[in-house]
Structures are given as structure tokens and as C-alpha cells.
Amino acid sequence: NRFTFPSALKACARTGRLEEGKQIHGMVLKYGFLSDEFVLSNLVRMYVICGVMNDGYILFNASVGMENLNEMNLEKRREEGNVVLWNVMIDGYIRLGDFKAARQLFDKMPQRSVVSWNSMISGYAQNGLFKEAIELFRDMQMADKCPNYVTLVSVLPAIS
């Protein structure tokens, strides 16, 4: 069900079991759970964490491009699910050190959560890109987004 697949995918990601993750992907398709945002975000995350960014990116692009994933979904729920998917991809690029691709995705995001901002700011700061971290923190404030404690902890190394 919609709770079992994400749990299994998280276990595959944590242990680096890509082949088992691909088998679960097949079952997700077979049983029709690909349109579930929770399942989909964990599927993309599994590919990203297992280092298969290309497969994660293909799945991400296909899912973001899908219209009317499920007519029963509320628009807000769909938007929130998409934000999670975008964040997963941004985090994946940051983990790989591809800040250009991460920033391009971030800039294209139709909607950003505080997690989106935090991912970019902390990624920059943790990799010594302090100027970029501070600039993005300022952009966050200019966009009237309220930073949380994670934002502040992330930007601290850049300003100290």
C-alpha cells in the first residue's frame, strides 16, 4: 500500500540496495502507486541516494510534467508533493557537488518551501561557498520567506 512502498524504498536507499529498489519500482508501477506523491518522492529519493541521478531525474521530469496525476487530489496537496520532489532532486545535486544544476532547479521551482531554501543555503555553506550562502539567505528574506532555526544554523558558518 502507499505506506509499505515508501518504507521499503527508504530501507533500500539507506542500505544502497539499488537492485531491490528497482524491483520495488516495478511493483509500484504494477499496482498503480506511481501517482501517489508520497510513494513517488521516496522512489526518486531512493535513486538519488543510491547515486543514480539520471534515473531519479528522468522520473522527476516525468512526474513534474504529468498533468492530473489523480483527479481526487486537491491542488494544494499536488503542489506540496511537487515541492518535495523538487527538494529531493536539489538535495541530490548538492550531494554530488553539482551546485550549478541544483541552483538551476531551485530557480525553476514554481513554489519553494523553507526546506528548499535551507537545502541550497546549507549546501553552499557546507561546501565553502559562503558568498552564495549569504546571497541566497538575503534573497530568502527579500522573498518574504521566514527562516527557521535550520536556516540560521546553516548560514552561521558563512557569516562567522
Contact 119, 87 (CB under 8 A): yes
What is the span of the domain harbouring residue 45? 1-82
Domain count, the chain: 1
What pLDDT does 69 receive?
42
Question: Does a structural domain hold residue 49?
Answer: yes
Q: What is the rounded CA–CA span in Å between residue 110 and residue 124?
A: 21
46 to each of 7, 43, 49, 59, how far by Cα in Å? 11, 5, 5, 11
- Average per-residue pLDDT in the chain? 86
Contact 93, 102 (CB under 8 A): yes
**pLDDT over 50 (residue 127):** yes
Lowest mean pLDDT, pick from 19-28, 60-69, 115-124: 60-69
SS (H, E, C) 70-133: CCCCCHHHHHHHHHHHHHHHHHHHHHHCCHHHHHHHHHHCCCCCHHHHHHHHHHHHHCCCHHHH
Question: Does a structural domain hold residue 31?
Answer: yes
What pLDDT does 138 receive?
96
59 to each of 49, 63, 135, how far by Cα in Å? 14, 6, 31
What's the whole-number mean pLDDT along residues 122-145?
A: 95
**pLDDT over 90 (residue 128):** yes
What pLDDT does 4 receive?
92
What pLDDT does 63 receive?
74
Q: Identify the band that residue 28 occupies on the pLDDT scale cut at 50, 70 and 90.
A: very high
**pLDDT over 60 (residue 11):** yes
Give the model confidence (pLDDT) of 57-112 as tens digits: 888 877 766 544 444 343 444 444 578 889 989 998 998 899 999 999 999 998 89
What pLDDT does 95 receive?
87
Residue 109, CB half-sphere, CA atoms under 13 Å: how many?
26
Question: Does a structural domain hold residue 135?
Answer: no
Question: Does a structural domain hold residue 33?
Answer: yes
Ranges assigned E (strand) in 1-43: none
Q: What angle do CA 10, 42, 111 make, to 5 degrees?
A: 140
Question: Does a structural domain hold residue 137?
Answer: no
